[in-house]
Amino acid sequence: MKSMSYDPTAAATHLEWASRTGLRIGDLPPGARPGSLEEGYAAQAIFVKQMNEPVVGWKIAGASPRGLRGDLPTAPAHGCLTPSRVIASGGLLKFPSNAKATLETEVAFRFSRSVSPAEEAFEVSSMIDHAFIAIEVVCSRFIDRKAVGQPSFIADNLGFHALICGERVDPFDPRKFEGDAGVWQNGERIAISLSGDDRTRPFDSLKFLWGELARQRKTILEGAIVTTGTLSAPVDVETNGSFRAQISGAKVDVTFLRSDEGEVHSETVQSTCASTSDWMDTGTPFKQAEY
């Protein structure tokens, strides 16, 4: 239950400071910590708003079959995507030198038209423009995201750092989502496929978000992106290098550069990012861009 006295602004302000400076925090101050998922989402909304960018889509976490059944310690959750953090395959990704990044191989969808989940049933053929392989990079503003609890991690926008958008995958052939999925660093495999009920089923994950947005009466705008959760075992990296994720012959690449220049949304970073209008007619969503 949401506390009548909880003000999510303090949590959002601390997280925005950590994001802007690139410094990790151990925890939020006691009075700023959200005590429920609802309070976490309230803080997340303000944190994302303070980034001064529009929301161009969503990320989903923990929505594997096990997660959707409630068999995991934490509930399925969702965060927001912002345009400066959605970049093309082949880009250069900077992240704070004091931070650990977690990489996940995912399937993401781009919507072909605006839809209202509260008023429409999900229909792949009329709503999805295309699917593509992606690497989600999680880099929490917390030193140890697991230690702070799920409400605070939700406030942190589920640690979203960047989404690297790769080659297309046929959304009308679910078998394409079932192939071997993994991550390679400088040509060496560092993450294996998940299997069974531990592995995200992209459409089931998307249906979870559909229900959440229906309850909130939110609209999914044309061109919105939804990345559905990991198909490979999440892998932590703390070094520079070239990374590739693959599934069913589709691939996505990114180069990491650790930096002491703060977080990713500096003016230099934003000036190199392409807009979502580049999605319509290209094999990858955006033009090549340094991030």
Instruction: Read off the tokens for 245.
Output: 């994720």
Res 4: pLDDT = 64
Output the pTM of the full model: 0.88
The answer, yes or no, to whether residue 41 has pLDDT greater than 70, is: yes
Please state which of the ranges 8-12, 234-238, 261-265 shows the lowest mean pLDDT. Answer: 261-265
Helical axes 9-21 vs 37-49, angle rounded to 10° = 50
For 55-111, the pLDDT digits (tens) are 999 999 999 999 999 999 999 999 999 999 999 999 999 877 777 899 999 999 999
For 155-175, the pLDDT digits (tens) are 999 999 999 999 999 998 888
The answer, yes or no, to whether residue 257 has pLDDT greater than 60, is: yes
Percent of the chain with pLDDT over 70: 88
Burial per residue of 252-281, b for 16 or more beta-carbon CB atoms within 10 angstroms, e otherwise = bbbebebbeeebbbeeebeeebbebeebee
| Structural domains in the chain plus CATH codes | 55-279 (3.90.850.10)
Res 276: pLDDT = 37
Beta bridge partners of 94: 257
Compute the radius of gyration of the chain from its Cα atoms.
18
Task: Give me the sign of the Cα torsion angle 148, 150, 152, 153.
Answer: positive
- Distance, in Å, from the CA atom of 245 to the CA atom of 265, rounded to the nearest integer, reads 24
- Distance, in Å, from the CA atom of 136 to the CA atom of 180, rounded to the nearest integer, reads 17
- Distance, in Å, from the CA atom of 105 to the CA atom of 108, rounded to the nearest integer, reads 10
Instruction: Read off the tokens for 27.
Output: 């925890």
For 16-25, the pLDDT digits (tens) are 999 998 889 9
Res 96: pLDDT = 76
Instruction: Calculate ∠ Cα 214-216-220, nearest 5°.
Output: 60
- Cβ-based neighbour number of residue 83 at 10 Å: 18
Res 94: pLDDT = 86
Task: Give me the sign of the Cα torsion angle 261, 265, 230, 25.
Answer: positive
Instruction: Calculate ∠ Cα 124-125-129, nearest 5°.
Output: 85
- Distance, in Å, from the CA atom of 40 to the CA atom of 33, rounded to the nearest integer, reads 8
If 0-12 CB within 10 Å is exposed, 13-18 middle and 19+ buried, where does residue 99 land? middle
